[in-house]
Amino acid sequence: MQNSLVVRPVQPDEFDAWARLWDGYNAFYGRHGATALPALITRSTWQRFFDAYEPVNCLVGARDGVLVGLAHYIFHRSTIQIAPTCYLQDLYTSAAVRGQGIGRALIEAVYDRARTANCGRVYWHTHETNLEARRLYDYVAERSGFIVYRKGL
């Protein structure tokens, strides 16, 4: 079927295609040029996807064999439940295909992976100004009401 979307784990030979999406994601959040992530972080992130001892995972959305979206997710323990928790750390679709259901398909695929891993919950953060994504997020999940604090060390 022409134009069909396939959501699947990223493959080891897809670094360049994944890196284009990763660069787009980072640019969206202002990490480009002088503030770009070091290449070592990108390479380490990539390698973690294929390390059985790492809890970091990557799904991609492919349309006609071209990668058009990514979702990075992490399984971790929690102090408030026995079951593991799934953190959807990064979600990105190419600007040219936004609004076509790819982000939702990636989120639903993460939900499926989390159910398979017996997770009790999937959660994520987004910037308050990311209004387009928030419209989707309000439809596929509920806002927790929590505010995120952080401090670089």
Please state the three-class secondary structure of 66-104 as a single string.
EEEEEEEEEEECCCCCCCCEEEEEEEEECHHHCCCCHHH
152: in domain: no
**Residue numbers in the chain where pLDDT is lower than 70:** 1-2
Say whether pTM exceeds 0.75.
yes
Per-residue pLDDT, 131: 80
Per-residue pLDDT, 134: 84
14: in domain: yes
118: in domain: yes
Chain centroid offset of residue 26 CA: 12
Run of H or E including 58 = strand 56-63
CATH no. for residue 43? Answer: 3.40.630.30
Average model confidence (pLDDT) across the chain: 92
148: in domain: no
Total number of domains constituting the chain:
1
Phi, psi angle pair for 42, to nearest 5°: -60, -45
| Selection from 54, 69, 67, 52 nearest residue 108 by Cα | 69
By DSSP bridging, strand 5-9 and strand 85-93 are: unpaired
Sign for the pseudo-dihedral over CA of 94, 100, 103, 108: negative
Domain extent, residue 122, equals 5-140
